[in-house]
Structure 1
Amino acid sequence: MPAYRAQAQTPAGFDDLSRLESVDVKIENPSSDEALNRRLIDRIRVGLGIFRGDVFSRSTAEFNLARARRGSPIAKTLIVATPGPTGGVAITIIATIESDQTQADGRGVFNHGKTRDLSVLYDKNGTYLRMRLEGIGMYYGNDNAWYANPDPLLAGNPLVNGKPAGSGYSNWVEGFVHAGLYAMTPLSENVSLYGGLSGIFSGSNGQELFTSKTRGYFGVEDAFVGIVGGGVSSTGDRFVVNASAGRQRFGVADGFLIANTASNGGKRGALQSNPRWSADELLLLQARYNNVKLEAFSIDPDELPEVDSKTKIHGINLEIRRPNAIDAALMFLHIPQSEFKYYTPTDVFSRKGLQVYNGRIRWQPNPTGAGLFLSGEAALERNDHYDMRAYAWTAEMGYSFANSMTWTPTISYRYAAFSGDDPSTQRFERFDPLLSGDNGERWVQGINHYKIFQNSNLLTHRFQLRLRPTQSTELVPQFWFFTADRTTNLGGNPAFSYIKGRYLGAEPNLTFKWFISPKLMLQGHVAATFPSTTAKKTIGTPTDPWISTMFFLRASF
């Protein structure tokens, strides 16, 4: 049986695990001493510990800023995140300087009993305790889901429970509440202990893609501990070591291989609002020296019980950022354990023993302003136990008109290729996308189309435009063309096991985002997927375009 997975399309927070495009630091109430202001800004930049090109984590940033505030006149820091011009996130740190007495009194509800900064419960002498509270309410509608052919496209799918969406218009509502506590405390001048514990309640009601049954579910999300230490040498070199273990979220780059470390849908509900990201277990060791980062990790993804492949992934990732605007990275992954199967017309192979060799590069000489940018990524897959050679690669080229034209457009074109299996050879060649995905601007390729064809045996062309009508709004129109690499597609959707042609279809879509405030965001989309005559011939029945609409309101405190 092929692996089925509920597909993530809308991350709980647009900024988490996004590529960091820029970091700016401002002092809300600067001192009359300009030298002091410069020292405090430098302290924050050094203490933040993340740089352009890194994967941004709000929790890690909050912890690092708490360490930077310790023993300084900086009483408070606020992280303001906005979309970057090329699809990442731009961060502004707003610092507040306070008197020595205010520093001595500390900050947070447990210190002064006031709720003006409810998320901070305690912040004094390097010990920091904050509350996380966020939620999403979402409406989702489909017209002619599954090309109005749910029976052949969902045959044998274990996620189907009762009546799935299909011909005609259907809709549902869903959402979640995520609450937790995150803390850090110093063990010495340069070493701190940290951890987090949180839970998510999610629910769905209405005619969803796989079911019409109402569901509610509570589960633990984050449950981790870690230790971090480091410092700055007399010559200005920065060194940081961070080790953590437990349930937590993890991703590499923009999610080409590792993004969806947890699954949603099924009895958990919230299929599209996608609240769960934490792996069942993540063991992570990171070391950074200036602009060089090395990390070793072991991931046990939190898969749905209905489709749990019991896969574990071990990996090593090296990233180097050069001052000439070139970011480069190498990664190796190994799968020591898995029950996931690959299918050919004559054999069944196991994912166990998979080796993945991955390389990435990005050139963007003016990350915060107008200019050209280029990026590329490639992966080669082999297996310890049998002859396998599968590949995937992507290249993107774009130009940002940031602050140089009305609506500051960014235009880009991306080509991506994921190999399929050639049945005329003994070698297995179908690419395994592992935990690829995240959202429709990363590796969810087509808002609707991705639910039918995932990132295997697929060639895609994406034309994308980013527009900023105002500082608080963003429009992202996309146009996709989809083609199969091979007509043999065993391991994908069973209705398309053997495809009668290569061209699969096209999808235009439009995403709208309104950042109402730092704590409130509204997002919506409309997408129309047009199946090709190849798809119609393969299914063997008439097909209709699949149109979807969605909007959600996200609040975080």
Structure 2
Amino acid sequence: MIKIVLAQGLRYAKQILPVLFLMLALAGLQSGRICLASAIDAKQGIEIPAEQAEGLPIGLVYIHLEKSTGASDQDAELTEQVASTFSVSKGEPFRQLVAGFALKKVRQLAAVQSAELRLYSSVPAGQLVVAILVSPQEETATVPQPPKGMVATGTVHDFPTIYEDDRSKFVFILNGGVGIFSDSDPWFGGYGQAFNGRNPTAEDPSGEGTTTWLEGYIEPGIGGISQLFDSPLYAYGAVSYLLSGSNGQDIYNSGTRGYGDFEKLYAGLLWDLPGKNSLLDASFGKQTYQVRDGFLLSKIPLSTSIGERAALYLGPRLTSEYTALLRAKVSSFGLDAFLIEPSEIDKIASDTQLAGVNLQYNLANTNIAFSYFYIPESKSSYVAPGSLRLPREGLRTFNPSLSIKKLLGRDGAWLKAEYAYQNHEGFDMSAQAGYAWIGYQAGQLPWKPQLSYRWSLFSGDDPNTRKFERFDPLFSGGLGNFLPGIVFSKVYKNANLVTNRATFSVKPTDQLELILDYLHHRADDRNNLGGIGPLQTLASKDVGQEVTLTAYNYIGRHLFLQGIASVGIPGEAINQALGGDAENWYTLQAALYFFF
């Protein structure tokens, strides 16, 4: 099957595939020996709250002894024991309930006095670093800990823990956020009707000038995990209800509006298999899931906050309508099988389902993966020349991936790339996408400056060929990853798009990160049928540019502040589509999130 796919004569294979082969060669220089990460590896990124980390793939598990046991061989033995007991490992998606219970098992070790879990964004971005800070027991004798939590102690000081003993943990969930947002000359000069004429969720698109509005949400709930009998089998789950609201004119709607619905509603069983880093995990319900850094499947687009759901820019809704997930892990090999139905608004529901598998293998500094995606059901269709409609149902996507840290053995240097080929079981289709991303962080310098560059392609359809070649980005996205820009994501998706992106970031403290992004967009083909609003046939391939400054500030254990300033500069394609009178689109955003 792979030979058939590669023999299709893909237009850009000569540009993308050599990058993957180069990376395979470089990966061969990396040691396959499993080794412990350094503190530098663990703290390259900013510390983030557990709720924001939910569903992100784990790129590194780092175990740090706060003090020595007094002997190097005993330190190594304790570190290995903690790693084996924690059981959550590189490559799997982060689950707050599961990780919290795994930390409890570490704390119960006779040689451990205390243990703390901290989470950091990874370098490169898109994954998660899990750090376990362990203090060795000074005396071998341990005293069994009594049950904790509000039920056991009768005091609210234990909030959010409801009840916790050596077999179970149940907690209250309380998340929320508030934000103020301001856009100037949205829709590149007030052309909201032109871009949203066929968008039923945009009842009152903003016009020219400046519009400012407020958003907020709150999400209360309950979650827990418990060991079943004396077996290594654990049941877990969560339920939460999210209330969101907006006041003022956003880019789609005006007035005061609010919405409430279940956010988390899932249950699962986890079987801790014999052997190191081996498990079987099955779950079902409204939950988050993401493949790697969101190139084709990000947790962000699986739900939406558009229209009646309110809180458009805060974007609090992340769970799908349902996700059936089966995960198996044996040592360095991992396999996920999933069936996902996105959470859609009735007015624009496509009843799409996404099925797939993700197979990966982790080395010390290299991750090799292959994903297959299939759309078994969908009412959506593609627009081909001649007003022909082609069904989305039956789409197949083949997606190899390779990521290398410590490129050529150098700390802070990294390189990663992915390639995707699409065909269809019902008609002649040959589309492709891919990227190559290289970066370096000077982790030993003050503020840990980092510079990276990424080239990405999502193919367009050449109307002069028999095949349909416009790439379907599936559920690509994620701020800082594959969102085509804070501004440009409103008018252009990851299809028929070639992007050059340069990013510079600094980390003044462990809690503060400043990021400067530059994106330059060009169309792959002037035929853009299936695009947004007036961008169906382009007068130029010059789509535009965007410059974004982002600040992330982690305040204590429960608060997270995000600030964004961005400008979208229309290229000739957008300028001509709007009659030659397009303006720059500016946005300022400030949001404060809290998590318990």
Query: Do they superpose with TM above 0.5?
Result: yes
Q: Aligned to 2:530, what secondary structure does the other structure show? A: coil
Alignment pair present for 1:189 and 2:189:
no
Do the aligned residues in 1 keep the contact of 2:92 with 2:334 (CA within 8 Å)? no
Deviation at 1:101, TM superposition (A): 8.0
Deviation at 1:49, TM superposition (A): 3.0
Cα offsets for 1:154-196 (capped at 9, x unmatched): 21211112x3222111011112111221111112331111111
Aligned position for 1:6: none
Higher helix share: 2
User: Match for 1:410 among 445, 450, 470?
Assistant: 450
Alignment pair present for 1:378 and 2:378:
no
Q: What is the count of residue pairs matched by the alignment?
A: 541
Higher strand share: 1
Aligned position for 1:3: none
Do the aligned residues in 2 keep the contact of 1:217 with 1:269 (CA within 8 Å)? yes
Aligned position for 2:86: 48
> 1:27-38 to 2 correspondence within 5 Å?
none
Query: Per the alignment, do residues 41 and 23 of structure 1 end up closer, same or farther by CA in structure 2, a change over 3 Å counting?
Result: same
User: Match for 2:282 among 235, 239, 243?
Assistant: 243
User: Match for 1:84 among 116, 122, 143?
Assistant: 122
Alignment pair present for 1:127 and 2:168:
yes
Aligned position for 1:337: 377
Task: Look up the equivalent residue of 1:306 and give its one-letter code.
Answer: K
Deviation at 1:333, TM superposition (A): 1.2
Aligned position for 2:502: 463
User: Match for 1:152 among 170, 186, 194?
Assistant: 194
User: Match for 2:520 among 472, 475, 481?
Assistant: 481
Aligned position for 1:424: 464
Alignment pair present for 1:512 and 2:551:
yes
Aligned position for 2:99: 61
User: Quick one: distance in 2 between partners of 1:446 and 1:136?
Assistant: 22
Task: Look up the equivalent residue of 2:215 and give its one-letter code.
Answer: E
Task: Look up the equivalent residue of 1:341 and give its one-letter code.
Answer: S
Deviation at 1:397, TM superposition (A): 0.8
Alignment pair present for 1:224 and 2:266:
yes
Do the aligned residues in 1 keep the contact of 2:372 with 2:396 (CA within 8 Å)? yes
Task: Look up the equivalent residue of 1:530 and give its one-letter code.
Answer: I
Q: Aligned to 1:105, what secondary structure does the other structure show? A: coil
Deviation at 1:248, TM superposition (A): 0.9
Do the aligned residues in 2 keep the contact of 1:369 with 1:401 (CA within 8 Å)? no
Do the aligned residues in 1 keep the contact of 2:280 with 2:328 (CA within 8 Å)? yes
Deviation at 1:82, TM superposition (A): 2.8
Q: Aligned to 2:53, what secondary structure does the other structure show? A: coil
Task: Look up the equivalent residue of 1:61 and give its one-letter code.
Answer: A
Gaps of 5+ in 1: 1-9
User: Quick one: distance in 2 between partners of 1:33 and 1:184?
Assistant: 36
Task: Look up the equivalent residue of 1:473 and give its one-letter code.
Answer: L
Do the aligned residues in 1 keep the contact of 2:56 with 2:289 (CA within 8 Å)? no
Deviation at 1:420, TM superposition (A): 0.9
Deviation at 1:556, TM superposition (A): 1.1
Alignment pair present for 1:442 and 2:463:
no
User: Quick one: distance in 2 between partners of 1:300 and 1:64?
Assistant: 29
Query: Per the alignment, do residues 330 and 190 of structure 1 end up closer, same or farther by CA in structure 2, a change over 3 Å counting?
Result: same
Aligned position for 2:58: 20
Aligned position for 1:207: 249
Task: Look up the equivalent residue of 2:466 and give its one-letter code.
Answer: Q
Deviation at 1:51, TM superposition (A): 3.3
User: Match for 1:175 among 204, 216, 240?
Assistant: 216
Query: Per the alignment, do residues 30 and 115 of structure 1 end up closer, same or farther by CA in structure 2, a change over 3 Å counting?
Result: farther
Alignment pair present for 1:548 and 2:565:
no
Deviation at 1:111, TM superposition (A): 1.6
User: Quick one: distance in 2 between partners of 1:369 and 1:514?
Assistant: 29
Do the aligned residues in 2 keep the contact of 1:119 with 1:132 (CA within 8 Å)? yes
Q: Aligned to 1:450, what secondary structure does the other structure show? A: helix
Q: Aligned to 2:97, what secondary structure does the other structure show? A: helix
Query: Per the alignment, do residues 276 and 11 of structure 1 end up closer, same or farther by CA in structure 2, a change over 3 Å counting?
Result: farther
Cα offsets for 1:352-405 (capped at 9, x unmatched): 111111111001127998332110011111111111111110110111111x22
Alignment pair present for 1:328 and 2:368:
yes
Query: Per the alignment, do residues 150 and 471 of structure 1 end up closer, same or farther by CA in structure 2, a change over 3 Å counting?
Result: same
> 1:355-374 to 2 correspondence within 5 Å?
355-365=396-406, 370-374=411-415
User: Quick one: distance in 2 between partners of 1:206 and 1:75?
Assistant: 52
Cα offsets for 1:507-529 (capped at 9, x unmatched): 11100111121211111010011
Deviation at 1:465, TM superposition (A): 1.0
Deviation at 1:70, TM superposition (A): 5.6
The range that moved more, 184-193 or 519-528, is: 184-193
Q: Aligned to 1:302, what secondary structure does the other structure show? A: coil
Task: Look up the equivalent residue of 1:380 and give its one-letter code.
Answer: Y
Aligned position for 1:308: 349
Q: Aligned to 2:311, what secondary structure does the other structure show? A: coil
User: Match for 1:108 among 149, 158, 165?
Assistant: 149
Structure-2-length-normalised TM-score: 0.85
Do the aligned residues in 2 keep the contact of 1:530 with 1:546 (CA within 8 Å)? yes
Deviation at 1:73, TM superposition (A): 6.9
Query: Per the alignment, do residues 246 and 288 of structure 1 end up closer, same or farther by CA in structure 2, a change over 3 Å counting?
Result: same
Structure-1-length-normalised TM-score: 0.91
Task: Look up the equivalent residue of 1:204 and give its one-letter code.
Answer: S
Deviation at 1:261, TM superposition (A): 1.7
Deviation at 1:541, TM superposition (A): 4.4
Task: Look up the equivalent residue of 1:552 and give its one-letter code.
Answer: A
Do the aligned residues in 2 keep the contact of 1:241 with 1:287 (CA within 8 Å)? yes
User: Quick one: distance in 2 between partners of 1:119 and 1:368?
Assistant: 43
Give the CA RMSD over aligned residues: 2.6
User: Quick one: distance in 2 between partners of 1:64 and 1:12?
Assistant: 14
Aligned position for 1:529: 568
The range that moved more, 16-25 or 506-515, is: 16-25
Deviation at 1:71, TM superposition (A): 6.9
Task: Look up the equivalent residue of 2:237 and give its one-letter code.
Answer: G
